[in-house]
Structure 1
Amino acid sequence: MAGKAFRFGVVAGATEGGAKWLRTARRAEELGYATLLCPDNLNLPTPTAALAAAAAVTTDLKVGSFVLASPLRTARAAAWESHSLSVVTGNRFELGLGTGLPTMRQQAEELGLPYGSGQERLDSISETIDHVRRLDGDAHTPVMIAAGGPKARRLAGAKADIVTLAGGVLTTREEMAGYVEEIRAAAGDRDIELALNIFVVGEQVPPWIRGFIGVDAETLIEHDSLTMLRGSFDDMAAELERRREELGVSYVSVNSAFIEEFAPLVERLSGK
């Protein structure tokens, strides 16, 4: 299949103070990354503040939520924050939405909000998009949905501009190809961008990433995990091109732990 031009993002949380966060934003722009993406949970500064600050110290870098968890806000509040970020960043904000991890149940309770059923959380995402479109008027905030299940894939295909393929870390290529077919069927004639997040660059899994994904490097390698990118520089570039050819993935994000290691690929492939 014909692919879109590559672009790349960095996923980072403002965990160690404002100065380091702003350095990360400036460095991401210097290295040619297209976006700086910020996760969302109560243990981190809110993406609203972090992304506004990052946009203020950069010129062209886009900023995005990765992703706003629907249990942590009402749909209207999420849309308000999102439209506000689009305005104050000069339309450099990309709204990423998701239903949140199971741990969000307790965080929603802390905020006095219902966690909701899976369908209710998806409905909230859909309503958020509708509110954003109304608030934007003639403007258009790009919306990304992290689509892990079949209902999320159908919603993403129908309403999102960008769809992140959010299967499990051991999801096979064949399974992922099936997910892409579902998304494209739901999208119809709509032009969508497909994205994938990479947790590991190389063959060493940092302990905190291993704790998050629940598997070690050997398991990722054994299962040919799409959340890992390894080998020589040429091998990694060829693998990204293969993923674009086979799956249509052209937007690739990487954890900030690998921002420097991944940068040569950004320089080589961005816009191509």
Structure 2
Amino acid sequence: MPQKAFRFGVVAGATEGGAKWLSTARRAEELGYSTLLCPDNLNMPTPTAALAAAAAATTELRVGSFVLASPLRTARAAAWEAHSLTVVTSGRFELGLGTGRPEMRQQAGELGLPYGSGQERLDAISETVDHVRRLDGDGHTPVMIAAGGPKARRLAGLKADIVTMAGGVLTTREEMTGHVEEVRSAAGDREIEFAMNIWVVGTEVPPWIRGFIGVDAETLIEHDSLGLLRGDVDEMAAELERRRDEQGVSYFSVNGAFLEEFAPVVARLSGK
């Protein structure tokens, strides 16, 4: 299967107000990032509003959810929001979907929605994709599914345009290659773009990221973690080329904290 060209996203939330958020969007576009990706959490502005504003403040930058948590909306409501963003951004929206982290149980309760079993949350993702396809008509909202387990990888292979390889930050290269093959097997002849989130660029883990992933830089380095990218521009570019060769991943996202630090790699590899 031919290799896909590299593209890059930056993950950020509109937590510091509109001016800072729009500045981030414009800077991401200026630096050559393909996509501005927004997390989904009741403790920050909804991705719907944030991404619409970011798209309006830029010209070509794509925007995407990373990822809408299925427990926080009904499938029909999620599809409504997604299709609406596709319309108002003139096709620059990418719908990212996931089953949600465990803390979403409480947040779903605040919204009066059930958290649901793992299978029910996966079913909601599947239903959301079906609703979006119906609403799109002749259009097409690209769908990304965060695939962290075997059932999610199968669903992603069957229905996603983009599959972001979720899971633990200590997943080995060999394990990741196997996970990608699971998705490819389910996809058959369907063309898939594989994505991966890089938690840390360099060798220092910001405290809030360490709290989120549960390990320090030394542990990431010791385990050759795919969640970390380090070295100079040549070394980082070579590592991403290796990941594309070995795992087929061509779409990489980084946290907004590393927007500037990662930019030389974006300039080096975008579109190649």
Q: TM-score under structure 1 normalisation?
A: 0.99
Could you list the structure 1 runs, at least 4 aligned residues long, displaced by more than 2 angstroms after superposition: none
Aligned-partner Cα distance in 1 for 2:75–2:206: 35
Number of the residue aligned with 2:46 = 46
Report how far residue 2 of structure 1 moved. 3.7
Report how far residue 232 of structure 1 moved. 1.5
Number of the residue aligned with 1:103 = 103
Letter in 2 for 1:190: R
Report how far residue 167 of structure 1 moved. 1.7
Aligned-partner Cα distance in 2 for 1:54–1:196: 22
Aligned-partner Cα distance in 1 for 2:251–2:206: 23
SS in 1 for 2:271: coil
Number of the residue aligned with 1:36 = 36
Aligned-partner Cα distance in 2 for 1:3–1:164: 16
SS in 2 for 1:10: strand
Letter in 2 for 1:224: D
Number of the residue aligned with 1:204 = 204
1:213-234 CA-partner distances (Å, limit 9, x unpaired) = 1000000000000000001211
Number of the residue aligned with 1:265 = 265
1:186-243 CA-partner distances (Å, limit 9, x unpaired) = 0000000000000000001011110111000000000000000001211100000000
Letter in 1 for 2:117: S
Number of the residue aligned with 2:60 = 60
Report how far residue 132 of structure 1 moved. 0.1
Number of the residue aligned with 2:26 = 26
Aligned-partner Cα distance in 1 for 2:222–2:267: 29
Aligned-partner Cα distance in 1 for 2:213–2:87: 35
Number of the residue aligned with 2:123 = 123
Aligned-partner Cα distance in 1 for 2:232–2:6: 19
Number of the residue aligned with 2:69 = 69
Number of the residue aligned with 1:244 = 244
Is contact 1:199-1:228 (8 Å) kept? yes
SS in 1 for 2:250: strand
SS in 1 for 2:144: strand
Number of the residue aligned with 1:4 = 4
Aligned-partner Cα distance in 2 for 1:208–1:3: 35
Letter in 2 for 1:37: L
Letter in 2 for 1:165: M
Aligned-partner Cα distance in 2 for 1:223–1:3: 27
Letter in 2 for 1:123: D
1:73-130 CA-partner distances (Å, limit 9, x unpaired) = 0000000000000000000000000000000000000000000000000000000000
1:158-209 CA-partner distances (Å, limit 9, x unpaired) = 0000000002000000100110110000000000000000000000101111
Percent identity over the alignment is 85
SS in 2 for 1:37: strand
Is contact 1:11-1:253 (8 Å) kept? yes
Q: Aligned pairs, how many?
A: 272
1:39-69 CA-partner distances (Å, limit 9, x unpaired) = 0010010000000000000000000000000
- Give the RMSD, CA atoms, in angstroms: 0.6
1:185 paired with 2:208, answer no
Is contact 1:2-1:245 (8 Å) kept? no
SS in 2 for 1:253: strand
Number of the residue aligned with 1:137 = 137
